[in-house]
Structure 1
Amino acid sequence: MKETGVRVLKILGRDYSVRASASEEAVLQQAAALLQQRVNENQQRFPAAGSQELLVLTALNLCVPLLEQGEQLRAVQERLAASVELISRQLRV
């Protein structure tokens, strides 16, 4: 059974309490560190942006690669399914 507790993540100088299991803590810390790193990069690119704007810009910048990876995964799955079908047809002959 997973032990669930409150984990504290610091982003933009603010603490966020997140309920998560001990096994999820390392990934949450990595995610918070990545988010903070990207926020810092956007702070330098957009010095006049406020915290909320920085978080939105950063979230959008992080979502684009996720969507691209999802599309690449679907394309690979389609190619794999086609290859499996081709191999199956050749084995039946």
Structure 2
Amino acid sequence: MKENGVRVLRILGREYPIKASADEERVLQEAAALLQERVAESRQRFPNASKDELLVLTALNLCVPLLQQGQQLREAEERLAACIEQIARQLQTT
């Protein structure tokens, strides 16, 4: 088992110590890099926003596609369930 430790992520010039395993470090670094990239985009769109405002705006912009993907997943699951039900009905009639 990998040892849990503290990983330090730097976001908007501030360090955030996060307790995570060595296995989680890569994904945390990728998440921090994505957040930094999106914060930079938000900074261009909202040049007068404070750091806190930039983080909130960026978080909202990251949440929208996440919610959309969740909805798409639910719709795909519903379609799959309907197909399975239809196949089951057809198998019962044959």
Both proteins in one fold, TM over 0.5: yes
Give the partner amino acid of 1:17.
Answer: P
Equivalent-residue separation in structure 1 for 2:7 and 2:24 (angstroms):
10
What does 1:5-24 correspond to in 2, within 5 Å?
A: 5-24=5-24
What residue in structure 1 maps to residue 68 of structure 2? 68
2-structure distance, mates of 1:60, 1:9: 20
Match of 2:80 in 1: 80
Question: Which residue of the partner structure matches residue 29 of structure 1?
Answer: 29
Structure 2 residue runs of 5 or longer lacking an equivalent are none
Instruction: Measure, in 2, the Cα distance between the counterparts of 1:85 and 1:45.
Output: 48
How big is each residue's C-alpha offset from its partner over 1:33-92, in whole Å with a ceiling of 9 and x where there is no partner? 000000001111111000000000000000000000000000000000000000011011
Moved over 2 A (4+): none
Letter in 1 for 2:35: L
Q: 1:3, CA displacement in angstroms?
A: 1.4
Counterpart CA distance in 2 for 1:78 and 1:61 is 27
> Match of 1:28, as an amino acid?
L
Corresponding residue number in structure 2 for 1:38: 38
Whole-angstrom CA distance in 1 between matches of 2:44 and 2:67: 25
Unaligned runs of 5+ in 1: none
Q: What's the C-alpha RMSD, in Å, of the aligned pairs?
A: 0.6
For residue 10 of structure 1, give the secondary structure of its aligned residue in structure 2.
Answer: strand
What is the aligned length? 93
